[in-house]
């Protein structure tokens, strides 16, 4: 509705949504999760191993978000998009 009213362009909306989603909903929780879980599990206590783990967790989060956005942009029916995402995420496990 804001786009039709001329408040901002689609590109500005898309970039702001992606930036806010990536930083606050994917990166920061991934860092917090990695800091807690890595040491709780008792993996190698070297900085290299920790940062590889952190990088892997954040990339998995980005990949899942990208797949969900791509499928939701492709499908017009929410139920079908949910089925596709469920099937894909089950096979990714």
pLDDT digits 0-9 by tens, 7-53: 778 788 778 878 888 888 899 999 999 999 999 999 999 999 999 99
DSSP 42: T
The residue extents of the domains of the chain are 2-92
Ramachandran assignment for 75, one of left (phi > 0), alpha (psi -120 to 50 degrees), beta (any other): beta
Task: Confirm if 64 and 30 have CB atoms less than 8 A apart.
Answer: no
Continuous segment of H or E residues that includes residue 57:
helix 47-74
Stronger pLDDT, 31 or 65, i.e. the higher one = 31
pTM, rounded to two decimals: 0.75
Q: How far apart are CA 67 and CA 72, in angstroms?
A: 8
């Amino acid at each position: 509705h804001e786009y039709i009213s001329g408040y901002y362009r689609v590109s500005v909306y898309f970039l702001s949504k992606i930036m806010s989603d990536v930083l606050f909903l994917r990166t920061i929780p991934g860092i917090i999760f990695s800091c807690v879980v890595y040491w709780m599990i008792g993996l190698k206590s070297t900085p290299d191993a920790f940062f590889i783990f952190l990088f892997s967790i954040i990339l998995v989060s980005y990949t899942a978000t990208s797949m969900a956005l791509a499928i939701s942009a492709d499908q017009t029916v929410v139920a079908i998009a949910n089925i596709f995402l469920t099937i894909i995420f089950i096979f990714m496990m």
